[in-house]
Amino acid sequence: METQKAYKFSEITYQKLEEIADFRLVKDRTIFGEWFDFKFEINKEEEEYLKKLIILNEYNVAYYDEYQLLAHFISPLISKIYFLGDNFREWYQPEISGTVNGKKLYGKPDFMVASGVYKPEIPYFFIQEFKRQKTISDPMRQLLAQMATAMEVSKTKEIKGCYNIGRAWYFIILEKISEGKYKYYESESFDSLKINDLKKIYIYLQAVKHKYCK
């Protein structure tokens, strides 16, 4: 009996993702309109909070390792969003696994929103990879692998997520076309150390909480 091939999220590269399934980039960003058009008014306190977050980190982000970036910038931002509701909550480095196109994928995503009380049950759509600016890893492909696994767990055909490399943030939408075939969309980059871009990131994360955590 042939052993099922297994892939760890943290070891996923472009080549390994190609072995797992067919992931095709769609060069069209109009799909983000429904997500990014979310109406959310940032109040004065929130704006000051975001400005302070930039001031405290703008000269250090380029030198943060993954954990420093998470502790000093990402976690304070996510905590302000407050991903907690009656049927969902945030999870840092939860263990998830699943089968994608006959291959086992497993590991610990850095952050996700899912249902569950003591352990994540159904991933809703939002998974995020934190990687430092100067890195040899492949955060986007790792994110796609995690999102595809989450889709198999939740039995959905579409999922949303984002990844960041240092100060640059990118949002992703992944769709399953058929068994072993996926297409994904990547947004333009957003500079989290520029207040107008950080406000957009904040609003898009609020959209995740209010529109898609059902």
Considering the domain boundaries, does residue 1 fall inside one?
Answer: no
CB 184 within 8 A of CB 26: yes
Does 112 have pLDDT greater than 60?
A: yes
Considering the domain boundaries, does residue 125 fall inside one?
Answer: yes
Considering the domain boundaries, does residue 159 fall inside one?
Answer: yes
Residues 112 and 105: their CA atoms lie apart, in Å, by 16
Question: What is the residue whose two structure tokens read 């990118």?
Answer: 170
Handedness of CA 46, 51, 55, 60 (dihedral sign): positive
- What local confidence, expressed as pLDDT, does residue 1 receive? 52
The number of residues in the chain equals: 214
CB 197 within 8 A of CB 191: yes
Q: Sorting pLDDT into bands at 50, 70 and 90, what band is 118? A: confident
Q: Sorting pLDDT into bands at 50, 70 and 90, what band is 135? A: low
Considering the domain boundaries, does residue 53 fall inside one?
Answer: yes
- What local confidence, expressed as pLDDT, does residue 161 receive? 95
Question: What is the residue whose two structure tokens read 């198999």?
Answer: 152
- What local confidence, expressed as pLDDT, does residue 37 receive? 97
Q: What's the number of domains the chain is made of?
A: 1
Considering the domain boundaries, does residue 51 fall inside one?
Answer: yes
Question: What is the residue whose two structure tokens read 């931002």?
Answer: 77
Q: 65-74, 101-110, 134-143, 205-214: lowest mean pLDDT where?
A: 134-143
Can you give the residue range of the structural domain that contains 37?
Answer: 6-212
